[in-house]
Each structure stands twice: as C-alpha cells, then as structure tokens.
C-alpha cells in the first residue's frame, strides 16, 4: 500500500528528529557518565590532598605517625577533625560541604598533577616502599558498630576501618609508615585501583596515605546520575511528542497545495482547461502552481485556436467545393453548358483547393519540425529578379507599380525554391490588398552578418494592434485591407513565410510602411544550413 505524501513527509520529519535526538541523547549520556567519573576523581584527589595536609600538621609534633598505630580512637578523632575541616561538623554533622550544597560553591579545584589522579605520586616524590597489608586485628578489638558514632562492623580480613563519613573518603584511606607498614585505615583488596600521597614533615617523608578508588558509584552519586538520566529522558520524550505534532502539522501544510494541484490537473485531464489554482505554500510549490496555471491558460488558448482553425479551414474548403458543386449541378441540369470558360472557372476552383491543401501540408510539416530544405549556393539578386519578373504583368493588370531596388550582389547558401515561395507569398499579399493606383517595392541590402529583404506597399495599412497577428494562420485584417474583388487567398501565406524563414535560422516581422501600407522585413543569414 502506497503512503500518502502527508504520511511520507511526517515519517521523514519524525525519523530525522528521532535520529537527531538519539544522537544528541547518546552524546549527552556518554559525556555525563564520563565527565561525572572524572569529577569524582578530581574531588577525591582534592580531599586526599587536604587529608594529607591534616596528617602533616598532626605529625609535626613528634615527626612520626606512631600516635595512629593500632589506635581506633585516634583514627576516629582524626575523622571527626577532618569532617569539621570539610564543613560536615564531624562524623555526626548534618551540613554538607559547600561544594556539595545545592547552589553552593564550585567543586574543589583539581590536584596540581593529573598523574596523581591515575594512581601515581606527585612529581618529586619518591615511590613509596612496598606496602604491607595490615594484620587482622585481635579478637579483643573487634566490636559491633556504634550507631551513634556512625561506626561499621569491622572486616577481620581487612583490618580496622576508619568510619565512613559523609565526605566518602575516610572509609577508603590507608595510612602507612615510611617503611610501608600499615598503621591505620582499611586494607587494600586485590585488583582495586588507588592513588598514593607522601606525608612529609619539614621535607622529610614520615609516611604514606593510599586512597582506594571506588569500583562503583556511591548511593548519593548514583542517585544524582539517575536523576540526570531521568530528566534527560523526560525532556527527550516531551520533545519527541512536540515534534510529532509539529511534523504532522508541517506535513499537512506542505501537502495541502499539492492536493489542490492534483485536483486541478485531474480536472484538466478531464477537459476543464480553464481551471486555476490559487498559489500557496512554499516558494517552490507556489512556483509550480503558477507554472501549472500558465500551462492551463496555454492549453485553453491552444484549444480555442484549434477549434477556430478547424472552423476556418472548413470554411476555406467549403467555399470552392460549393462553387464546384453548383457548377456541376448546373451543367447536369442543362442550365449551363460545359464551355471552355466554364471549365476554366472550374479548374481555377480546383487549383484553389490544391493550393490550400498544399499550404496546410507545409504548415503541418513546419509544426512537426520536418520542413525539408535543400540548401544550395547562389546570389540574392537572381532570386529576387526571378520573383519580381513573375509578378510584373499581374501588378500592371491591377493598376500597381512593382519596382525593385537593387542591392549588392551577395553570394548566399539558401533553399532558393523556399525563398522564392516566401517572396511570392509576400508579393501575392501586397498585390491582393493594395489599392490602385499604388506601389509595391522589393529591396535587399546587407544587415549585420546577413541579408535583409523588404517587401512594402502603399495604402491601405494595417492597424498597429493587428501587426503581431498577421503571421497567425488564417488571420486577415479585413477591416482595413479588403481583398480585391474576385481574388481568393488561403490566409496562410504569411504563416508559411514565417515557417520557411525560421527553417533558415532567420526572422520575419511586419510594420507600417513609409509608403502608407505594410512593410514586411525578412532577415536571413548568408549561409543557412
């Protein structure tokens, strides 16, 4: 089943929006996950540096860390003091640090050395000695957690742990002496990542602190990421819903003028050539509608011209046929005798029919682009003289003077038979419509790269509004240039002349003559092909 264009456009827009949203969402998810992990590392490193500074201040008194060895209470006190420094109010405080409060300060600055974030000591520090895993605490020191102090059960396999405060690092630190012997804190399980810092007093190392990287996000961090993911998904879903509605609306708006255009073309196919569509939609669609309207108008004009053509041709054919029928019926009834004069009249009507059919055939071949021309070399003067000589006697017979204004002797390549037909039609038209006494002049001269032939006559002239229509088939400006009585013409002479000139890559046009009548100008190239 074929989809309507509104459905296709909707699916296209929805697909594009969905692909864009998935791409942007994937990038945001990846950046959020990766960036948040890096942020946690930077935060841990900053807190570790501050924890080391606290240990260095505490160790400055005796320049050792012996006060921490095997003392759970000392470790808890250290945790309380570090919590107060961080703004937690000790292990049981409720206020988060400034950088974790909603709308609070910026996160703590990153450590000065990014290598430390990857588990490497600061530059200038020597590598710590091999750390010794802490021995399991004696059974006497193992005790249940104290809820009021925030304690946790101790793991006998990992040794004593410092209480895990809100800051999240005290439960992940280990403290070693300068020889790498465990002093306090949790043990380091196998395979976990960690970062180390040296504890220095007056430039001398007195111990080491090691912070274990958490393999998984803490509850608060995971909850934060979950909220971000949920908010992002809800935003994407809302955006998708809005874009679905927008895509359907846009597709409908785009398809509406196309549906109107479809209905119009369907009516045109059914014969209603006068249909017009109001331009609407985008610039390209409005332009297409305007082109269809222009096509409809052109088809309507062509149909009107076709019907008029058929009517005129029928009239032109019916007139000589009616004359022939009447003459034959008179002869058959005995009303007239088949005298030579009568037979000559009948022959003239037959010749008129032959000329009309020949002219129609020439025009039809020209319309099909199949007007055959045979180009040969010759000169302009010879072809003009031949045509003028053929019409001299007839011009004198109707009281007109035919003159030829000779131009330069030019060698050309034309179909001279066709060019003689053009000049003959122009002279025939001039002799038929020019009033006696009058003049008809034929001339030629150079005009640019070609030859200009002009046939002009004396009064009467042609109305200016009729000049552009003279070359239309069967058009006659009878209101101003009446045909000489008894003379017949097909009304196709100028149309045929135009077709022949066009086949020679030339041009033809009419204007008012300086003699008071009509001047027809023909421009032809020297060498047509």
* Per-residue pLDDT at 261: 80
Question: Per the domain annotation, does 22 fall within a domain?
Answer: yes
Q: Is there a single domain that holds both residue 419 and residue 290?
A: no
pLDDT, tens digit, 9 for 90 and up, residues 192-217 = 678 888 988 888 888 888 888 765 55
Task: Kindly indicate the confidence band of residue 489, based on its pLDDT and cuts at 50, 70 and 90.
Answer: low
Residue 421, domain CATH: 3.30.565.10
- Identify the CA nearest to 401 among candidates 437, 453, 454: 437
Q: Is there a single domain that holds both residue 361 and residue 389?
A: no
Q: Is there a single domain that holds both residue 396 and residue 436?
A: yes
Task: Kindly indicate the confidence band of residue 442, based on its pLDDT and cuts at 50, 70 and 90.
Answer: very high
Q: Is there a single domain that holds both residue 396 and residue 321?
A: no
pLDDT, tens digit, 9 for 90 and up, residues 217-261 = 565 566 777 787 788 788 888 887 887 787 777 777 777 787 788
Q: From CA 42, how far away is CA 122, in angstroms rounded? A: 14
Q: Is there a single domain that holds both residue 289 and residue 413?
A: no
* 89, pLDDT greater than 90: no
* Per-residue pLDDT at 461: 85
Question: Per the domain annotation, does 270 fall within a domain?
Answer: no
Query: Are the C-beta atoms of 429 and 460 separated by less than 8 Å?
Result: no
Q: Is there a single domain that holds both residue 363 and residue 505?
A: no
Burial 234-261 (b: 16+ CB within 10 A, else e): eebeeeeeebeeebbeebeebbebbebb
For residue 189, CA distances in Å to 41, 162, 177, 384, 467 come to 19, 16, 19, 117, 107
Q: From CA 53, how far away is CA 201, in angstroms rounded? A: 10
Which residue would you say has higher pLDDT here, 279 or 508? 508
Q: Is there a single domain that holds both residue 140 and residue 50?
A: yes
Task: Using a pLDDT cut of 90, give the percent of the chain over it.
Answer: 12
Q: Which domain holds residue 30?
A: 5-222
Q: Is there a single domain that holds both residue 507 and residue 384?
A: yes
Q: Which of 140-154, 175-189, 368-382 has the lowest mean pLDDT?
A: 140-154
Q: Is there a single domain that holds both residue 175 and residue 305?
A: no
Query: What integer best gives the mean pLDDT of the chain?
Result: 75
Q: From CA 212, how far away is CA 158, in angstroms rounded? A: 13
Question: Per the domain annotation, does 75 fall within a domain?
Answer: yes
Question: Per the domain annotation, does 165 fall within a domain?
Answer: yes
Question: Per the domain annotation, does 256 fall within a domain?
Answer: no
* Per-residue pLDDT at 177: 84
Q: At what angle do helices 219-269 and 5-59 cross, to 10 degrees?
A: 160
Q: From CA 431, how far away is CA 440, in angstroms rounded? A: 8
Q: Is there a single domain that holds both residue 385 and residue 500?
A: yes
* 454, pLDDT greater than 80: yes
Tokens of 198: 């040296």
* 183, pLDDT greater than 50: yes
Query: Are the C-beta atoms of 92 and 80 separated by less than 8 Å?
Result: no
Question: Per the domain annotation, does 40 fall within a domain?
Answer: yes
Which of 329, 349, 367 is the last residue in one of the domains? 367
* 104, pLDDT greater than 60: no
Q: Which of 143-147, 308-312, 413-417, 473-477 has the lowest mean pLDDT?
A: 143-147
| pTM for the structure as a whole | 0.47
- Residue 60 has a CB neighbour count (10 Å cut-off) of 11
Q: Is there a single domain that holds both residue 461 and residue 424?
A: yes
pLDDT, tens digit, 9 for 90 and up, residues 115-168 = 343 444 443 344 456 655 555 555 444 444 443 333 333 343 333 333 344 346
Task: Using a pLDDT cut of 70, give the percent of the chain over it.
Answer: 75
Instruction: Provide the domain count of the chain.
Output: 3
Residue 331, domain CATH: 1.10.287.130
Question: Per the domain annotation, does 509 fall within a domain?
Answer: yes
Q: From CA 476, how far away is CA 488, in angstroms rounded? A: 12
Q: From CA 455, how far away is CA 423, in angstroms rounded? A: 8
Which of 222, 240, 262 is the last residue in one of the domains? 222
* Per-residue pLDDT at 218: 60
Which residue would you say has higher pLDDT here, 209 or 282? 209
Task: Kindly indicate the confidence band of residue 103, based on its pLDDT and cuts at 50, 70 and 90.
Answer: very low
Query: Are the C-beta atoms of 208 and 180 separated by less than 8 Å?
Result: yes
pLDDT, tens digit, 9 for 90 and up, residues 32-83 = 777 777 777 888 888 888 888 888 888 887 777 878 887 778 888 888 888 7
* 88, pLDDT greater than 50: yes
Q: Is there a single domain that holds both residue 63 and residue 41?
A: yes
Q: Which of 119-133, 314-328, 445-459 has the lowest mean pLDDT?
A: 119-133
Which of 367, 399, 430 is the last residue in one of the domains? 367
* Per-residue pLDDT at 281: 65
Average pLDDT over residues 348-375: 80
Average pLDDT over residues 488-502: 79
Question: Per the domain annotation, does 81 fall within a domain?
Answer: yes
């Amino acid at each position: 089943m074929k989809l309507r264009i509104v459905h296709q456009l909707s699916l296209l827009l929805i697909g594009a929006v969905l692909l864009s949203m998935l791409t942007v969402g994937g990038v945001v998810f990846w950046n959020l996950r990766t960036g948040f992990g890096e942020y946690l590392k930077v935060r841990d490193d900053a807190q570790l540096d501050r924890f080391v500074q606290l240990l260095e201040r505490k160790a400055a008194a005796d320049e050792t860390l012996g006060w921490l060895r095997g003392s759970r209470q000392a470790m808890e006190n250290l945790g309380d003091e570090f919590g107060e420094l961080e703004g937690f109010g000790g292990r049981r405080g409720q206020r988060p640090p400034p950088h974790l409060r909603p709308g609070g300060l910026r996160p703590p600055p990153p450590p000065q050395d990014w290598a430390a974030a990857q588990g490497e000591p600061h530059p200038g520090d020597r590598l710590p000695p091999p750390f010794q895993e802490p021995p399991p605490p004696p059974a006497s020191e193992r005790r249940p957690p104290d809820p009021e102090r925030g304690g946790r059960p101790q793991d006998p396999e990992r040794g004593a742990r410092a209480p895990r405060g809100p800051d999240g690092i005290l439960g992940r630190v280990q403290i070693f002496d300068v020889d790498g012997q465990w002093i306090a804190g949790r043990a380091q399980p196998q395979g976990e990542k960690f970062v180390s810092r040296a504890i220095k007093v007056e430039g001398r190392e007195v111990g080491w602190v090691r912070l274990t990287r958490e393999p998984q996000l803490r509850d608060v961090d995971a909850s934060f990421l979950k909220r971000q993911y949920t908010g992002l998904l809800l935003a994407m879903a809302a955006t998708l819903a809005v874009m679905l509605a927008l895509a359907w609306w846009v597709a409908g708006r785009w398809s509406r003028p196309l549906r109107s255009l479809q209905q119009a073309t369907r009516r045109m196919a059914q014969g209603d050539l006068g249909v017009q569509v109001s331009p609407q939609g985008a610039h390209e669609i409005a332009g297409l509608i305007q082109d269809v309207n222009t096509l409809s108008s052109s088809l309507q004009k062509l149909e009107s011209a076709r019907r008029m053509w058929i009517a005129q041709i029928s009239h032109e054919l019916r007139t000589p046929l009616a004359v022939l029928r009447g003459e034959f019926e008179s002869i058959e009834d005995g009303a007239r005798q088949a005298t030579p004069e009568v037979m000559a009249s009948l022959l003239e009507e037959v010749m008129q029919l032959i000329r009309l059919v020949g002219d129609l055939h020439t025009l039809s071949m020209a319309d099909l682009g199949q007007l055959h021309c045979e180009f040969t070399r010759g000169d302009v003067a010879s072809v003009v003289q031949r045509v003028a000589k053929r019409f001299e006697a007839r011009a004198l017979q109707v009281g007109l003077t035919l003159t030829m204004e000779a131009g330069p002797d030019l060698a050309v390549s034309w179909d001279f038979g066709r060019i003689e037909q053009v000049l003959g039609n122009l002279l025939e038209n001039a002799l038929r419509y020019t009033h006696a006494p009058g003049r008809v002049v034929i001339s030629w001269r150079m005009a640019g790269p070609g030859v200009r032939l002009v046939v002009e006559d004396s009064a009467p002239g042609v109305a200016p509004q009729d000049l552009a229509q003279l070359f239309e088939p069967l058009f006659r400006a009878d209101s101003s240039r009446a045909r000489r009585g008894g003379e017949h013409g097909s009304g196709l002479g100028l149309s045929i002349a135009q077709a022949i000139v066009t086949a020679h890559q030339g041009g033809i046009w009419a204007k008012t003559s300086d003699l008071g009548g009509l001047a027809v100008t023909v421009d032809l190239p020297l060498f047509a092909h």
